[in-house]
């Protein structure tokens, strides 16, 4: 097996394991890390989005399978599983595309930090609008939805989802930078 194929499988398995290990709690708890799913989809788009298009449907199926198992076998609440649940498909795909966009514009320069921040915030914002908006308006959990009520709900939760995703992607970016720097040092190449 080629080295790049092996590293792609390694990246996929790492991302899949991180999602499986953290998916049961959106914001975490004393005993569990916050859900890394959004960061996983963004990172998968960056690392595996070019040639490995099968990864997106595989991760979507994993997310659904983990949710199913958590609800049916581990007593996790099904409160968020409504008719709006299926909006995770376009929402997570937006995160994937944001990561893929970053990969296509990645130059190993300082400006990449701005591109990372912009694509991540845009991806998370669109993902949150799709998931939270569909849940609020179509989920039938809010008895009398209003625009003011939606905005209040959006404002209460958006920052937390953005912060958790940015924290995970920030850790991944630091690891990425260290690996790139180490690889450049081994090859005698100066990283810009």
Neighbours of 160 (CB within 10 A): 13
Q: What is the pTM of this model?
A: 0.89
Q: Which candidate, 7, 43, 8, places its Cα nearest to that of 167? A: 43
List the structure tokens of 63. 């997310």
CB 45 within 8 A of CB 70: no
Sole residue written with tokens 């992607």: 169
Domain boundaries of the chain, sorted by first residue = 3-187
Beta-carbon contacts of 141 under 8 Å, excluding residues fewer than 6 positions away, are: 79, 82, 135
- How many residues can be counted in the chain? 192
**85: which DSSP letter?**
G
Dist. CA 58–CA 55, nearest whole Å? 5
Span 134-150, mean pLDDT? 92
Span 139-155, mean pLDDT? 92
Cα angle 162, 180, 171 (rounded to 5 degrees) comes to: 25
pLDDT in tens, 15-53: 999 999 998 755 445 567 899 999 999 999 999 987 778
How large a percentage of the chain has pLDDT more than 70? 90
């Amino acid at each position: 097996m080629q080295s790049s194929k092996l590293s792609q499988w390694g990246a996929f398995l790492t991302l899949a394991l991180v999602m499986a290990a953290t998916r049961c709690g959106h914001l975490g708890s004393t005993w569990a890390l916050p859900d890394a799913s959004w960061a996983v989809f963004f990172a998968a788009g960056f690392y595996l989005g070019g040639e490995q298009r099968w990864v997106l449907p595989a991760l979507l199926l994993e997310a659904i399978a983990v949710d199913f198992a958590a609800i049916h076998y581990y007593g996790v609440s099904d409160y968020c599983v409504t008719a709006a649940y299926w909006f995770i498909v376009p929402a997570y795909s937006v995160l994937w595309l944001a990561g893929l966009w970053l990969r296509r514009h990645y130059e190993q320069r300082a400006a990449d930090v701005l591109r990372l921040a912009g694509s991540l915030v845009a991806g998370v914002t669109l993902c949150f609008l799709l998931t939270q908006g569909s849940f609020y308006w179509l989920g039938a959990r809010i008895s009398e939805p209003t625009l003011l009520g939606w905005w209040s709900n959006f404002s209460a939760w958006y920052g937390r989802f953005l912060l958790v995703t940015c924290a995970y992607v920030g850790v991944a970016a630091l690891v990425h930078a260290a690996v790139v720097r180490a690889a450049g040092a081994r090859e005698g190449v100066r990283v810009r």
